[in-house]
């Protein structure tokens, strides 16, 4: 599932940045691991947000996000002053702006799981069996995860040097950056806009299938491609002459996400990129073959943008089944703003009808009590840990609004309703 990414020129709006730092607090420059080289933020980074057309500058994102976070912080402070019983739980820990350059070499990127939680006023001691977010402290938007035996793999939107980022972990916390998982694009795709990968296995678990988003050179729209590999690390290979899914009359197709029902039926979900051209955005679902390379039947529409908080779009679908009920997790609103958030909709049958609560599940949380803000969470995916617990992976903007880092938080259930134990800023137990 995943998020889309446009390249952003890193030219900060000074006024907006000062506003943000006032809201979030300044960070101490650190790396996520003693083995990860900290370098200055690159002059051009990849920023996700599905269906955004045209060039979006980081300065614009900084100004918009800073204004929203400052306003939200002020409102929260006023509310706290008038109610002694009000307790606000903030979440997410942001370490310094650090971008690794491990595009073609293997480098280790981990959290400070056994040191301290930095990126806030003061530090909190982190125990040997604890961690703090972010777990990947570099530009790593739209994360998609896959568990293979005792290892976890995660894939993310492109950087300036990689088409599809990839990393490997034994525990969802300590990650090793891998080589480009999709080093060669098919002939129909333009380089530089490879977004929101989804990796799954074939029904016989003998091969790995990657769905990815790329710019269709013939139409100029973002479309979905498919590639295969014998190993989860790749390299994945795509040989099709045309995209797998490409709804050019609806703005394009992005954010693929796979789902296997309890009866073994396989599906693919995605979003039409209607917000690129003043159309509705729908989350679609369609059956796929056992090898994941043939669409079967006709697509069905599940949900569209119809809640105030969603703004002009819904995207990044993830379908999950719990206690017999189907839940579509999704992101909505402008990826480059603090309004970006994660919601969900539920149904008794896979094709719906789906019903949404009024508020998002995960949203921007302003800085409080010296803790860093969690800004624009989205691009979520869900995975089951080795102990059977369920975790949500998602990206959020770092404190300087220069890249989107990867976080994880535990996902529990209250009956059939999802409850995220986060966004978490404080040390929490390892999965």
- The reported pLDDT for the residue numbered 81 is 35
Q: What is the DSSP letter of 50?
A: T
Q: Does domain 5-237+260-429 have CATH number 2.115.10.20?
A: yes
For 339-375, the DSSP string reads: T-EEEEEEESSTT---B--SS-SB--B--BTTBPPBE
- Alpha carbons 153 and 168: distance in angstroms, whole number: 5
Beta bridge partners of 332: 314, 341
Per-residue pLDDT averaged across 391-403, rounded?
95
pLDDT at 430 over 90: yes
d(CA 211, CA 220): 19
Domain boundaries, the chain: 5-237+260-429
The band of 427, judged by pLDDT with boundaries at 50, 70 and 90, is confident
Q: How many residues does the chain have?
A: 431
pLDDT band at 65 (very low <50, low <70, confident <90, very high): low
Give, for 19, the enclosing helix (H) or strand (E): helix 14-24
292 pLDDT more than 60: yes
Residues 6+ apart with CB under 8 A from 219: 246, 248, 252
CA distances from residue 135 to 121, 154, 241, 248 in whole angstroms, order as listed: 20, 12, 37, 36
Q: What is the DSSP string of 57-125?
A: -HHHHHHHHHHHHHHHHHHHHHHHHH-TT-----------------SSS-EEE---TTSEE-SSSS-EE
Task: Inform me whether the pLDDT recorded for 100 exceeds 70.
Answer: no
SS (H, E, C) 259-289: EECCCCCEEEEEEECHHHCCCCCEEEEEEEC
Instruction: Report residue 343 as tokens.
Output: 């919601």
Beta strands 222-229; 253-260: pairing state: unpaired
Q: How does pLDDT run across 200-238, given as a tens digit for each residue?
A: 999 999 999 999 999 999 999 999 999 999 999 999 999
Q: Residue 139 has what pLDDT?
A: 98
CA-nearest of 42, 61, 17 to 102 is 42
For range 304-332, the mean pLDDT: 97
pLDDT at residue 62, as a whole number: 53
Whether 33 shows a pLDDT value over 80: the answer reads: no
pLDDT in tens, 238-276: 999 999 999 999 999 999 999 999 999 999 999 999 999
Q: What pLDDT does 203 receive?
A: 97
Is the previous residue joined to 235 through a cis bond, with omega within 30 degrees of 0?
A: yes
| pLDDT tier for residue 1 given thresholds of 50, 70 and 90 | very low
How many angstroms separate the CA atoms of 119 and 355, rounded?
Answer: 38
Cβ atoms of residues 138 and 96 within 8 Å: no
Q: Examine the pLDDT at 302 and tell me if it is beyond 70.
A: yes
Q: Which residue has the higher pLDDT, 177 or 17?
A: 177
Among 236, 222, 282, 284, smallest CA distance to 259 is for 284
Mean pLDDT of 80-84: 35
**How far from chain centre, in Å, is Cα 32?**
19
Q: Tell me the pLDDT of the chain averaged across its residues.
A: 79
- The percentage of residues in the chain with a pLDDT greater than 90, rounded to a whole number, is 65
Write down the pLDDT at residue 64.
53
In this structure, are strands 390-397 and 404-414 parallel, antiparallel, or unpaired?
Answer: antiparallel
Q: Is the pLDDT of residue 55 over 60?
A: no
pLDDT average, residue stretch 319-336: 97
Look-up of token digits 């679908």: 317
Nearest residue to 4 via CA among 268, 145, 196: 196
In this prediction, residues 153-166 reach a mean pLDDT of 98
Q: Which residues contact 271 (CB under 8 A, 6 or more apart)?
A: 50, 51, 253, 254, 255, 281, 282, 283, 284, 313, 314, 315, 316, 317
pLDDT greater than 60 at residue 111 = no
Helix (H), strand (E) counts: the chain: 2, 25
pLDDT in tens, 340-395: 999 999 999 999 999 999 999 999 988 777 667 889 999 999 999 999 999 999 99
Q: Tell me which residue has tokens 């073994």.
A: 264
Q: Is the pLDDT of residue 151 over 80?
A: yes
Q: Which residue has the higher pLDDT, 113 or 149?
A: 149
Torsion 43-179-171-125 (CA) sign: negative
Residue 425: predicted pLDDT: 73
- pLDDT at residue 41 tops 50: no
Residue burial 228-246, b: 16+ Cβ < 10 Å; e: rest: bbeebbbbbebeeeebbbb
Greatest mean pLDDT among 28-42, 87-101, 168-182, 363-377 lies in 168-182
Residue 7 clears pLDDT 70, i.e. is over it: no
């Amino acid at each position: 599932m995943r998020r889309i990414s446009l390249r952003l020129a890193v030219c900060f709006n000074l006024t907006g940045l000062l506003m943000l730092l006032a809201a979030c607090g300044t960070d101490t420059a650190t790396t996520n691991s003693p083995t990860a080289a900290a370098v200055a933020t690159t002059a051009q980074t990849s920023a996700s947000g599905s269906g955004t057309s045209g060039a979006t500058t980081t300065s614009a994102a900084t100004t918009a996000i800073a204004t929203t976070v400052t306003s939200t912080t002020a409102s929260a402070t006023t509310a706290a002053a008038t109610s002694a019983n009000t307790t606000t739980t903030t979440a997410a820990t942001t370490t310094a702006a650090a971008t690794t350059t491990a595009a073609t070499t293997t480098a280790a990127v981990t959290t400070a799981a056994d040191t301290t939680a930095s990126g806030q006023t003061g530090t909190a001691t982190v125990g040997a069996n604890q961690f703090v977010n972010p777990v990947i402290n570099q530009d790593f938007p739209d994360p998609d995860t896959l568990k293979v035996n005792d290892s976890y793999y995660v894939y993310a939107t492109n950087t300036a040097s990689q088409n599809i980022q990839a990393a490997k972990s034994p525990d969802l916390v300590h990650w090793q950056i891998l080589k480009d998982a999709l080093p060669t694009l098919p002939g129909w795709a333009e380089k530089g806009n490879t977004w929101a990968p989804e990796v799954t296995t074939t029904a016989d678990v003998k091969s790995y299938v990657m769905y990815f988003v790329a710019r269709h050179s013939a139409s100029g729209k973002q479309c979905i491609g498919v590639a295969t590999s014998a190993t989860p690390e790749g390299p994945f290979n795509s040989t099709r002459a045309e995209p797998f899914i490409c709804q050019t009359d609806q703005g394009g197709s992005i954010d693929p996400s796979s789902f296997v029902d309890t009866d073994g039926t396989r599906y693919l979900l995605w979003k039409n990129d209607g917000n690129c051209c003043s159309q509705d955005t729908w989350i679609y679902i369609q059956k796929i073959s056992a090898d994941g390379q043939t669409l079967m039947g006709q697509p069905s529409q599940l949900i569209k943008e119809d809640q105030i908080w969603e703004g002009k779009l819904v995207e990044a679908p993830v379908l999950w089944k719990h206690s017999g009920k189907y839940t579509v997790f999704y992101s909505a609103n402008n990826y480059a703003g603090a309004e970006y958030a994660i919601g969900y909709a539920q149904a008794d049958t896979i094709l719906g009808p789906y019903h949404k609560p009024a508020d998002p599940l995960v949203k921007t949380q302003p800085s409080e009590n010296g803790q860093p803000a969690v800004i624009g969470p989205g691009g979520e995916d869900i995975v089951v840990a080795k102990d059977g617990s369920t975790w949500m992976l998602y990206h959020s903007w770092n404190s300087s609004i220069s890249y989107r880092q990867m976080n994880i938080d535990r996902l529990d259930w209250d009956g059939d309703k999802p409850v995220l134990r986060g966004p978490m800023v404080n040390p929490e137990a390892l999965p």
